[in-house]
Chain A
């Protein structure tokens, strides 16, 4: 493992991620934390931590991405998540294709071309439908921990259908289902179905291509993965660190830019 050459920061809406890469572009250190309201401070601290852990003691330049990218002090460049995710996943999985990234506040479908460049993309519209927030919000309603969402949905006997993809409307559907005595696991399965149907619609609006790759926080959710595979008829390819791909890509973009600063 070499010393850190570039750091990528992905200041997202729900989590803040930081990755350090060495001269060969390998991921050598990382951090992931819930997003802090004061992004500037959090990003600065994460950078310091990574420099201390993997740096040679000197300065390591930073590229920022994510919603808070313009607030990361001292970043040499800021680049959108579309470009960064494409670059990170391309390096991790070594193939062009279609990447679906289901994050906290937005879901992106990105066509990755040769060399890892983003050729085309689609982001969800201005609502939480089809994003991780949709599941998170509904899980809170049902008092289920986020990590349990997938396994419980997969283990459900029967499925309650949630017709709304709108987070707020889905919540009222959940309330009435619970009131009618529906099983929580069956509701969870319905919620996943609703989320995935929205994501699949986005995939088709760009035009499905294979291989299909998945990143973002929701990639850890087994039910979401299984349903996405079923709905698209494609096997999903996942990078080792699905949540870090934006930050990793940012660091790689820095590294590829050649200059150290």
Chain B
């Protein structure tokens, strides 16, 4: 540990930063409580718990600013096996989440242009371009990201991350550990589990070497346990959308999912979601929905359009459409039953083989059909995300199946989760409005 860094960490983060952010949260909570939507606002007042989410995420990135020289830093993909890293007290940065924050704060385009100017094609995922742009330019709305000491990339979401992390490894000159996860066309086979298990076990000595200490098996179990608790809680929150009217929207899920991705398993994450669940349950008791007049309940497939969340929720809300659930937010809870603290490594292998993007398109369709029944949905919006090919693959057939087999109106919305240059308000509105009209006529 570097004494100067430690001093800055203690003063900037531990003492002043945390207290400032907690003061800010109180002030945000007051403001959120005071919101009285205009009579023509289609949305009910927002969830006050969101202030806590903002505090957690800001605190995380603030700690990141001071982390180098105090804690070892790993940059990881969203589906990376982080239990080993957390057990060694690594500070974790999720470039995908960082890119999403840039997208939501309308900084993604400028950063993507930095990457494009450096020669990266516009056909590459906009998360990768945003993040590579941030690494190359050193610019980020989060102030500053800590340099990684280790990169861990798991291919259970896409192959883009493999090349993206190789770029990062070359840029930062640090080791990259890749966990390769075979795609599950069918049920997982034992040899696939063994193959992934071996790689997760193989991460231990690499991470130990960077961390300069040994991992304790007890701590690993504890971390798996905490991760499971958080994922179960998140699932419970998502499932509250089964109520009529739904107390939450999928957009609430998108906004509040940062901690389940970046800080999963942390005790404070658990406390935050507990509080959020209480607030949601109060809404249910009072019969208050997330939107004022819920006439149609809809599924969202794929990533959100980060820079249009507010616009889309108002536009649809004004037509009585509540987008209540999404395959994307659900993905962070649905694997909870697979987590087993008694055998943390093998259960990690199973969990990290099963993210939605590592399962067949037919499997995703089954999940969507099941959601239609369980959440009593009237329609589905399938965001065809120009950036995320693995998520968008198969959507034409999935849409067709929902519309023709199940008789559930479904629409393909062409957009990009982070790059506003491929979004056209007029065209998107025309599709969504026509979709709403087909639901109304159904």
Contacts and interface: CB of A to CB of B under 8 A. Distances in A.
Interface of A: 67, 79-83, 106, 113, 117-123, 125-126, 205-207
B434 interface: yes
Given A117-B441, A118-B438, A126-B424, A67 B430 contact: yes
A106 B424 CA distance: 13
Interface stretch (B75-83, B225-233, B396-404): B396-404
Contact of B403 (A120, A123, A126): A120
B412 A122 contact: yes
Nearest to A85: B434
Interface in B382-435: 384, 396, 400, 403-404, 409, 411-412, 414, 422, 424, 426-427, 430-431, 433-434
A125 B392 CA distance: 14
Given A67-B426, A126-B422, A126-B427, A118 B396 contact: no
A115 B66 CA distance: 66
Nearest to A108: B434
Contact of A207 (B400, B426, B431, B433): B400
B189 interface: no
Main secondary structure of the interface of B (DSSP, over half): helix
5 contacts: A80-B434, A106-B427, A117-B441, A120-B403, A121-B438
B437 interface: yes
The CB with the most chain B CB atoms within 10 A, among A79, A120, A205, A207, is that of A120
B413 to A, nearest CB: 10
B438 A123 contact: no
Contacts of B396: 205
A83 B411 CA distance: 14
Given A126-B422, A205-B396, A82 B427 contact: no
Contact of A81 (B403, B409, B434, B442): B434
A80 B437 contact: yes
Interface in B144-183: none
Contacts, number: 52
B430 A120 contact: no
A121 B430 CA distance: 12
Contact of B438 (A67, A82, A126, A205): A82
Contacts of B409: 119-120
A193 to B, nearest CB: 23
Nearest to B438: A118
B279 to A, nearest CB: 36
Contacts of A123: 427, 430-431, 434
A169 to B, nearest CB: 15
A120 B434 CA distance: 9
Given A67-B426, A126-B424, A206-B400, A80 B441 contact: no
Contacts of A206: 400
A120 B412 CA distance: 11
B422 A121 contact: no
A120 B427 CA distance: 17
Contacts of B441: 83, 113, 117-119
A205 B412 CA distance: 11
A83 B414 contact: no
* Minimum-distance CB pairs A-B, first 5: A82-B434, A117-B441, A80-B434, A83-B437, A80-B433
Contacts of A205: 396, 400
A113 B422 CA distance: 33
Contact of B434 (A67, A83, A125, A207): A83
Interface string B2-29: 0000000000000000000000000000
A82 B422 contact: no
A26 B209 CA distance: 82
Interface in B351-404: 384, 396, 400, 403-404
A123 B426 CA distance: 13
Contacts of A120: 403-404, 409, 438
A132 to B, nearest CB: 16
B437 A79 contact: yes
A11 to B, nearest CB: 12
Given A126-B424, A206-B400, A207-B400, A119 B430 contact: no
A207 B404 contact: yes
A126 B427 CA distance: 8
B438 to A, nearest CB: 5
A125 B409 CA distance: 18
Contact of A82 (B384, B404, B437): B437
A217 to B, nearest CB: 18
Interface in B179-218: none
Contact of A119 (B384, B431, B442): B442
Nearest to A121: B434
Nearest to B427: A126
Contacts of B433: 80
B371 to A, nearest CB: 20
B139 to A, nearest CB: 29
